Amino acid sequence: MAKRIDVSGLTAYYGSHKAIEDISMTVEPRSVTAFIGPSGCGKSTFLRTLNRMHEVTPGGRVEGKVLLDDEDLYGAGIDPVSVRREVGMVFQRPNPFPTMSIFDNVAAGLRLNGNYRKAELNDIVEKSLRGANLWNEVKDRLNKPGSGLSGGQQQRLCIARAIAVEPKVLLMDEPCSALDPISTLAIEDLIGELKERFTIVIVTHNMQQAARVSDRTAFFNLAGVGQPGKLIEIDETERIFSNPSVQATEDYISGRFG
Amino acid sequence: MSTAAVAHKRPSTLRGARLPSWSPWAIAAGSIAAAIGIGAAAGLHSRVQWGVIAAILFVLATYGIAARVEGRRQAKDRVATSLVWVAFLLAVVPLVSLIWVTVQRGVKVLDVYFLTHSMGVVADSQPGGGIYHAILGSLEQVGLATLIGAPIGVLTAIYLVEYGRGRLAKAVTFFVDVMTGIPSIVAGLFILSLMLMLDMQPFGFAGSLALAILMMPVVVRSTEEMLKLVPNELREASLALGVPKWRTILKVVLPTSIGGITTGIMLAIARIAGETAPVLLLVFGNQFINANPFEGAQASLPLYIYQQYSNSAGANAAYDRAWAASLTLIAFVMILNLVARGIARWKAPR
């Protein structure tokens, strides 16, 4: 059920500003790919082009191709809504729906899309919460509001919400940057489990995290302020962290950047 | 404690001299007493003049005393505090006195008979009669106006916040701003000109149309602000689940802001419930009960108040009825506000 992503010649704009330029890469199914790089280098923008969330921003547009198992996400007649059902997303800050209970939050994707059977719903919610390692903590208070959970629990709730709709790919935009080390560990363990079922792409500022969770790592950089971000290299995580082929990558990883 | 210990104790740099906590009250009492003395000595009879003198004395005395004891910064702080209090009192005094006078004069004839009978068999100068026809007219006109104005207003706000880009949105915003400033009599004249073109007699629904025009911009503005308060992350979270935009708005954005939107609509209703001018032009007023807003002149509460006062020919009975009707109108608006607050609290995201 996990799918491969093939990006070729992708350039994204905010209005007239070119945010990322000419990015090509392959993301393998059932693996974790980490994006690292300095702030403003376009990691998040690139991530958002992978499920057509980039164009939600006013002025956002994209050139190039993103193939999801041989189907171009930016091809003619592709419905961005269907794309987002296949490619789920977890955001930097936990954002459970404040008006909904824990149960409703997890069920939100199915309910709002309207394609579910009532009898299945309980099972799907339990399965998703178990999948997000949250079931044991919330099983007694499924009807309580989701915003009452701790930050780390909220983020796992958001992951449960994302996997409840059974996407093929899961994009994570710095999912741990607002969390403490223990919650971060919980999410990292979870990522390790989730990659059995999904293709995972994660943006992170934490290089140890990239080294811990990812199979492949991509390094992004930009030539200067106002310049578009570019993909410098993508390789096996071990190679990137031990013997990268580009000097800039080594400088960034070893902290000798700039 | 020995004298040596006192000598060795250094003065605290963090703790300055403070006026005792009762000092504002003492200064206030002193200023009032002084103001009464000055007023009596200068032969001023107006209580307002005494009050102004007392307020000025209070601010000056506060500054002087605090500056001497506590220092200039604390003195300025106290002056600012007392100015805020004075402003608060200036705002509250007329409000409380308005409600007080209305209640005092309104309760005289306000009873079940008054609420359930019309003016059909009573001359304006006679006692008796009631406001049933006016309540009925007000409820129907305001209700119909809300049915027209609120959905259009909310949908316009949704367009402006969620979809509107470019020149159309700018134009809509501009016209909403212009509409906010339309005097109510002009909205009435607009509908009246249509009625004259179509050769129609006054009827309740015409008033509703004018009230809807007045209500719409208020609803648009308040709903817009509420929708803007919904964090963008929630919209993105929903979109990223593969939910279409219209469903996201319907199921995530609106439920999150429904409390504020309801409050805005209720306040807009409260505003149009007291409009007299367009109702005077379009609904005309009626002594009898007319439950059909689509045919024939109707009464309405603000119009009833105006007509009782102007047609009373000095009869106390008519004045009493006008006050009682005012009290009913205020109570209606207040109940609406309370309901709005209740809904806002009940629906607030937890």
Q: Chain B, 192-231: which have a CB under 8 Å from a chain A CB? A: 231
Residue (of B231, B223, B228) closest to B176 by Cα position: B223
Residue B110: strand, helix, or coil: coil
In the prediction, which pLDDT does B349 show?
66
Query: How many angstroms away from the CA of A166 is the closest CA of chain B?
Result: 10
pLDDT averaged over every residue in chain B = 89
More confident residue, B165 or A27: A27
In the prediction, which pLDDT does B166 show?
85
Q: By a Cβ cutoff of 8 Å, what residues of chain A touch chain B?
A: 51, 53, 56, 58, 81-86, 88-89, 91, 93, 95, 97-99, 108-109, 111-113, 145, 147-148, 158, 161-162, 165, 167
pLDDT mean over B217-228: 95
Query: How many angstroms away from the CA of A240 is the closest CA of chain B?
Result: 30
The answer, yes or no, to whether ipTM is higher than 0.90 is: no
Q: Cβ contact (<8 Å) for B239 and A91? A: no
B345–chain A Cβ distance below 8 A for any pair: no
**Among all residues of chain A, which has the CA nearest to that of B258?**
A99
Q: Which of A83, A99, A112 sits opposite B243 (nearest CB)?
A: A112
Q: Which of A56, A148, A161 sits opposite B241 (nearest CB)?
A: A161
Query: Hey, which CATH number is domain B115-346, 1.10.3720.10, 3.40.50.1240, 3.40.50.1100, 3.40.50.720?
Result: 1.10.3720.10
What is the SS3 string spanning A91-154?
Answer: CCCCCCCCCCEHHHHHHHHHHHHCCCCHHHHHHHHHHHHHHCCCHHHHCCCCCCEHHHCCHHHH
Query: For the segment B235-256, what is each residue's pLDDT rounded down to a tens digit?
Result: 999 999 989 999 999 989 999 9
Query: For the segment B314-324, what is each residue's pLDDT rounded down to a tens digit?
Result: 788 889 999 99
Q: How confident is the model at residue B230 (pLDDT cuts 50, 70, 90)?
A: very high
**Among all residues of chain B, which has the CA nearest to that of A91?**
B237
Query: For the segment B99-157, what is each residue's pLDDT rounded down to a tens digit?
Result: 999 999 999 889 999 999 998 888 888 888 889 999 999 999 999 999 999 999 999 99
B151–chain A Cβ distance below 8 A for any pair: no
Q: Which residues, given as ranges, of chain A have pLDDT below 70?
A: 1, 257-258
In the prediction, which pLDDT does B10 show?
67
Q: Cβ contact (<8 Å) for A95 and B237? A: yes
Query: For the segment B178-209, what is each residue's pLDDT rounded down to a tens digit?
Result: 999 999 999 999 999 999 999 999 999 999 99
Query: How many angstroms away from the CA of B217 is the closest CA of chain A?
Result: 26
- The domain limits of chain A are 5-100+169-254
Query: Who's near A159: CB < 8 A, 6+ residues apart?
Result: A90, A131, A132, A170, A175, A187, A190, A194
Q: Cβ contact (<8 Å) for B242 and A158? A: no
Query: For the segment A29-45, what is each residue's pLDDT rounded down to a tens digit?
Result: 999 999 999 988 889 99
Q: For the packed helices B316-347 and B72-106, what is the interaxial angle rounded to 10 degrees?
A: 120
Query: Who's near B10: CB < 8 A, 6+ residues apart?
Result: none
Q: Which of A85, A112, A147 sits opposite B238 (nearest CB)?
A: A112
Contacts of A89 in chain B (CB under 8 A): 236, 240
- What is the spatial order of strands in the sheet that A216-222 belongs to? A71-72, A60-68, A5-14, A17-27, A229-236, A216-222, A32-36, A199-203, A169-173, A87-90
- For residues A83 and B244, what is the distance between their CA atoms, to the nearest angstrom? 11
CA distances, B173 to each of A122, A219, B60, B160, B269 (Å):
45, 45, 47, 8, 21
Tell me the CATH number for domain A5-100+169-254.
3.40.50.300
Query: Who's near B96: CB < 8 A, 6+ residues apart?
Result: none
- The domain limits of chain B are 17-105, 115-346
The two beta strands, A71-72 and A87-90, are unpaired
Q: What is the pTM of this model?
A: 0.84
Tokens of A26: 């392959």
A33 and A231 Cβ atoms separated by less than 8 Å: no
- For residues B6 and B241, what is the distance between their CA atoms, to the nearest angstrom? 72
Query: For the segment B19-61, what is each residue's pLDDT rounded down to a tens digit?
Result: 888 888 898 899 889 988 888 888 777 778 888 888 888 888 8
Query: How many angstroms away from the CA of B267 is the closest CA of chain A?
Result: 23
Q: Cβ contact (<8 Å) for B241 and A53? A: no
Contacts of B255 in chain A (CB under 8 A): 99
**Among all residues of chain B, which has the CA nearest to that of A114?**
B243
Contacts of A148 in chain B (CB under 8 A): 350
In the prediction, which pLDDT does B67 show?
86
> What one-character-per-residue DSSP string does B205-247 give?
HHHHHHHHHHHHHHHHHHHHHHHHHS-HHHHHHHHHTT--HHH
In the prediction, which pLDDT does B1 show?
45
Q: Cβ contact (<8 Å) for B350 and A148? A: yes
Beta bridge partners of A217: A34, A235
Beta bridge partners of B312: none
- The answer to whether residue B263 scores a pLDDT higher than 70 is yes
pLDDT mean over B287-304: 92
pLDDT mean over B295-313: 89
